[in-house]
Chain A
Amino acid sequence: NAGVTQTPKFRVLKTGQSMTLLCAQDMNHEYMYWYRQDPGMGLRLIHYSVGEGTTAKGEVPDGYNVSRLKKQNFLLGLESAAPSQTSVYFCASSRSSGGLWDTQYFGPGTRLTVL
């Protein structure tokens, strides 16, 4: 059981470039989430999904898009990266039995730098 995995682990982009972060979970969880963590701060929710084919905006969705084509995968896209998007990105998942916002299982993170 790998749990929640994220690829890549590190990435450096130039302003204006695009990229996609991949999150995969093998726990058959219904809910998935993308967060960003800036230095010395807690996590802020970017987007989340309550099931395959659904997505919803979180607290800081601007500049990001997401897709949940398969239940086990949740993709986060940056169409035109900006230096303000330099951050560590975490994916998480949770069971539906506990309800939305119940215990979440986190991936190891992707450290993104935008120059």
Chain B
Amino acid sequence: SQQGEEDPQALSIQEGENATMNCSYKTSINNLQWYRQNSGRGLVHLILIRSNEREKHSGRLRVTLDTSKKSSSLLITASRAADTASYFCATAPKAAGNKLTFGGGTRVLVKP
């Protein structure tokens, strides 16, 4: 199974509501990153949180990291139709020789 796994796989919310998605991983990491992918496009970097950080904010985005539980969450507040996309977490491993690993993503649909 994958190093990073998002939950839920899909999420449907109304505009203005908050969206929360989670990422769990298996091995020790240097950092964890969240990316957004709009349909048919490349990935866009949202936030990088390092292993010694617990929370980070960027605009309407809030990311938390709990290394003891090997999990992270991404919260999008006051969602907009333009937030409709797939969101991926990617984990950068501490162990040499391991690679950045992406999860399968959470598909978010924001209904106007």
Contacts and interface: CB of A to CB of B under 8 A. Distances in A.
B48 A42 contact: no
B88 A102 contact: no
B95 to A, nearest CB: 11
Interface stretch (A13-21, A64-72, A73-81, A106-114): A106-114
Contacts of A102: 31, 48, 92
Contacts of B42: 4, 90, 106-109
A4 B44 CA distance: 12
Interface residues of B, number: 24
Summarize B's interface: helix, strand, loop or mixed: strand
Contact of A103 (B33, B41, B103): B33
B105 A101 contact: no
A104 interface: yes
B2 A42 contact: yes
24 contacts: A35-B102, A40-B104, A41-B105, A42-B4, A42-B90, A42-B105, A43-B102, A45-B99, A45-B101, A48-B99, A90-B42, A90-B43, A101-B92, A101-B93, A101-B99, A101-B100, A102-B48, A102-B92, A104-B33, A106-B42, A106-B43, A108-B42, A109-B40, A109-B42
Interface of B: 2, 4, 30-31, 33, 35, 40-45, 48, 88, 90, 92-93, 99-105
Interface of A: 4, 35, 40-45, 48, 58-59, 90, 92, 99, 101-109
